[in-house]
Amino acid sequence: MCGIRNRRDRAQHSGVTLTEFIISAGLSGLVATALFILAVSTGRSIAEMFNYVDLDHANRVALDTMTREVRQVRTITSLSTNTVVFVDKDGATVTYTYSPIKRTLTRTAGLQTKTLIEQCDSLRFASYQRTPVSNRYDLIPTSAVANTKVLTITWNCSRRLFGVHSNTEQGQTAKIVIRNKKEL
């Protein structure tokens, strides 16, 4: 009889009270919420880093293409803030055009058009002489396209990520010295 009573006593005292259950459920809910927030935050951060790396890679490829080509220009025939037209080393006319509506920079040579930069918020071309301003690293702006020895390109790209412009490439700038152009 003593063995039966111990089993009953243990059975009556081995259960979980309602208070213990509510506390454990609340703590489990808090831990689950914290893990969910951490997972979402980590996922968002990884997506933003991937997006930034992808934008940076696309910008580097475009800059390498433009630099390689512009350095070997024979002459620049036309220049505005959104467009530059030049004659390349082979005598072909090449045009770089930025479209603020499409947010793209395109390269046109003959009948071929290639998009170099997409999702570009702003882009600006400017021309300078090779001679720097006295006591500074700034260059002297050209008054005539024919005097251009340095072409600067400044742009800014961004994408919408999770419905927000949260991932922006902060201003790319390049100063490209034209090597083949003869001094006037």
pLDDT in tens, 138-158: 777 787 887 788 888 988 888
- The pLDDT value recorded for residue 39 is 92
Beta pairing partners, 168: 158
Radius of gyration of the chain (CA): 32
138/97 Cα distance (integer angstroms): 25
Contacts of 115 (CB under 8 A, 6+ apart): 104, 105, 106
Any idea which of 78-82, 129-133, 148-152, 163-167 has the lowest mean pLDDT? 163-167
DSSP string, 4-53: HHHHHHHHHHSSPPHHHHHHHHHHHHHHHHHHHHHHHHHHHHHHHHHHHH
- pLDDT digits over 68-89, tens only? 998 888 888 998 999 999 988 8
Instruction: State pTM to two decimals.
Output: 0.71
151/94 Cα distance (integer angstroms): 15
- The pLDDT value recorded for residue 131 is 72
Question: Which of these, 184, 182, 178, 183, lies nearest to 66 by C-alpha position?
Answer: 178
- The pLDDT value recorded for residue 59 is 85
128/152 Cα distance (integer angstroms): 8
The per-residue b/e assignment along 106-122, b for 16 or more CB within 10 angstroms, e otherwise, is bbeeeeeeeebbeebee
Listed by start position, the domains of the chain span: 19-177
CA 168 to chain CA mean position, Å: 5
Any idea which of 15-19, 26-30, 109-113, 162-166 has the lowest mean pLDDT? 162-166
Q: Give the residue, 12 or 41, on which the prediction is more confident.
A: 41
Given a cut of 70, whether residue 111 has pLDDT beyond it is yes
